[in-house]
Chains A and B, each alone.
Chain A
Amino acid sequence: MAMATSSSYPPPPPYYRLYKDYEKDPSSAPEPPPPIDGSYQLFGATYTTDVVLPSLEDQGVRQLYPKSPDIDFKKELRTLNRELQLHILELADILVERPSQYARRVEDISLIFKNLHHLLNSLRPHQARATLIHMLESQIQRRKQAIEDIKQ
């Protein structure tokens, strides 16, 4: 039983032998590997280093708002909000009249929620740029203040 628990983990990789003379001669040991670019495997799953929000079609979800390079976010968000309210009312009605047909309505409501969340996530790059603008402005402000302080 003790043998089984002690041999259940794999041994550490044998790279440690390459660093035997590291203290005396740092260049004798290999350089650290360069950062990975593109896609890589981790614990059996594939990941990618390209950080981009996957579109709704990639996730298999129908896109309810019109696809175009420039989306009027406020209008689309408000439209989807109204649709959501209508669907909730529809669900309440159908529970009163035909309770067995709730599934379709619940699916519609979850579809609307997914679209809403996707819209909000696609606003994040805009927020990142706005944060950058704010940081640059505050940095310029601080530098000007420092110049004034030095002049005095």
Chain B
Amino acid sequence: MDIISQLQEQLNEMAMLAVNTFGTLQRDAPPVRLSNNYPDPLNPAAAAAANPNPDDPTAQPQPQPGAAPAQAQGQATQAQPAQAPPALDLDEHPKAMSHALVLAAKKFDALVAALPLSSEEDQLKRIKELQAENGVVGLELQKQLEAAELELNQVEALFNEATDNCINLKKPD
């Protein structure tokens, strides 16, 4: 593909990367805590453990002091794997996408550097030179062609004469 089309494609690619970056971040963003009156959506386990709820069997510290911390720990570790995949995405995705954006921008710069640019007068001058040279070469080619055709005709005539002589000399003995 020619370099200008490549540059245009690279621009479109950068636009697509930017749109995808913002779109993915918006789609995968976790909910944000709006006010202290509502429970924190980021770590509901801590909120439930801190909540003094007598019906909740896991939040009873007095009867089993040793088992309760162990159970709270188990619940916390249970909640952690459920939260771990979103936490990973939040960290890795933006890094990967911004890396891709920067790479695309660098590629655009490299393509711009590879542009074979020259001024308009230089180009017009070169075109005039090439046209003149083309005319000269064309004339010479035509001359050569005519000479070659003449030679071909001569050779053909001689060949005809030779074959005629051959046929005439071959008398049936």
- Do A117 and B109 touch (CB < 8 A)? no
- Do A74 and B113 touch (CB < 8 A)? yes
Complex formed: what's the CA distance from A70 to B15 in Å?
28
Complex formed: what's the CA distance from A28 to B53 in Å?
105
Q: Flag B5-20 by CB within 8 Å of A: 1 or 0 each.
A: 0011001001100100
Q: Flag B136-151 by CB within 8 Å of A: 1 or 0 each.
A: 0110110011001000
- Do B130 and A137 touch (CB < 8 A)? yes
Determine how close the nearest CB of chain A comes to the CB of B116; give it in whole angstroms.
7
- Do B8 and A120 touch (CB < 8 A)? yes
Complex formed: what's the CA distance from A123 to B4 in Å?
8
Determine how close the nearest CB of chain B comes to the CB of A70; give it in whole angstroms.
7
Question: Interface-forming stretch among B44-52, B66-74, B118-126?
Answer: B118-126
- Do A140 and B108 touch (CB < 8 A)? no
Instruction: Give the interface centre of B105, B109, B120, B130 by most chain A CB atoms within 10 Å.
Output: B130
Complex formed: what's the CA distance from A130 to B123 in Å?
7
Which secondary structure dominates where chain B touches chain A?
helix
- In the bound complex, residues from chain A placing their C-beta under 8 Å from that of B119 are 70
Partner of B140, one of A91, A92, A147: A147
- In the bound complex, residues from chain A placing their C-beta under 8 Å from that of B11 are 113, 116-117, 120
Q: How large is the interface on A (under 10, 10 to 19, 20 to 34, 35 or more residues)?
A: 35 or more
Complex formed: what's the CA distance from A123 to B137 in Å?
31
In chain B, what residue has the closest Cβ to A131?
Answer: B2
- Do B15 and A133 touch (CB < 8 A)? no
Those of A24-62 within 8 Å (CB) of chain B: none
Question: Interface-forming stretch among A2-10, A13-21, A81-89?
Answer: A81-89
Complex formed: what's the CA distance from A116 to B36 in Å?
47
Those of B76-105 within 8 Å (CB) of chain A: 101-102, 105
Q: List 6 A-B contacts (CB under 8 A).
A: A70-B119, A74-B117, A120-B8, A143-B137, A146-B141, A150-B148
Q: Which residues of B contact A (CB under 8 A)?
A: 2, 4, 7-8, 11, 14-15, 18, 22, 101-102, 105, 108-109, 112-113, 115-120, 123-124, 126-127, 130-131, 133-134, 137-138, 140-141, 144-145, 148
Beyond known contacts A88-B18, A127-B2, A137-B130: 4 more, CB 8 A cutoff: A73-B117, A77-B7, A140-B130, A143-B137
